[in-house]
Structure 1
């Protein structure tokens, strides 16, 4: 997993703007840690090369200290030499940051533990939600479905609406102020709407 961040503001703070992740091939799974880290850098640069070309210097932050000396290495294996040739397209420096200080990226690469679940935090603050997601009529419809189950001839994968709930549902969807369809005195009768929308 590799993250792409942009420094914004004074003093500059890093803000994530993209992530890249993929499964290692069977051959790549045999790489040592250093080569896996180097592969991650190579793949991220390759994926975002159109943004990260030599227009400006990039700072690559890694938790693998040995990669700091990549450009000064005298002996490279053939794979590393091939990657080093690819890296010449980019102007970058590699800096080391311990994983304990890079908790955001570290958390993304950790597998979720069901043994120690945490309470989910909402992404959107509740004060920004205009209307509730739950609808008062949901429970009424559930009860009606229990009393009047779908007939055997109901097509597979289609939603069955009990007869007692068809008109209230159509009214909520087509005549409520939030539906965008104000009531028109010239509109067809309710029986026509039921026949049109609910076979």
Structure 2
């Protein structure tokens, strides 16, 4: 959603996940599409302890005027998109504007301490319920199930972008996002665009209350 903040119209979007899920690539797709739509864009990332398996959060900020600073302030995100439910909730708790929008996968990627029996992973429904208390809308589904249907688990990040496009909360249309995806990975265009459409269709169903 574009909010008026002082004299600026700013979109603040976050994509959360763990290393290897592709949220950095997804953030670049959104950023490129927003630039083509005429926005000034800043992108920043914060990383957890390890490159693969640690938390990765992308900050995407867009304005028609000067590019905003790259990192979104606490409670400043209009939209939080997550590829891993625990990381989605962590990002929501720290960054989501009250009444913002959340899109999340429901499939856990358990951290090493859980796999070693040193900690427990919460029930996913408990994570979703916590998100619902803070957001005006939570769209949730298994992005990997849809990615598998598209033909590659690596297209999970394209599934989540399709869901994002369905919300109408970002100021660039579906076709521009699809064009950006196709140009970025021409050899994987068919799988990625199918994944995008599956994510978009699932989000539209939930938005319509089906």
Scaled to the shorter chain, the TM-score interval is under 0.3
* Higher strand proportion: 2
Q: TM-score, normalised by structure 1?
A: 0.23
Which structure would you say has the larger Rg?
1
Higher RCO (Cα < 8 Å, 6 or more apart):
2
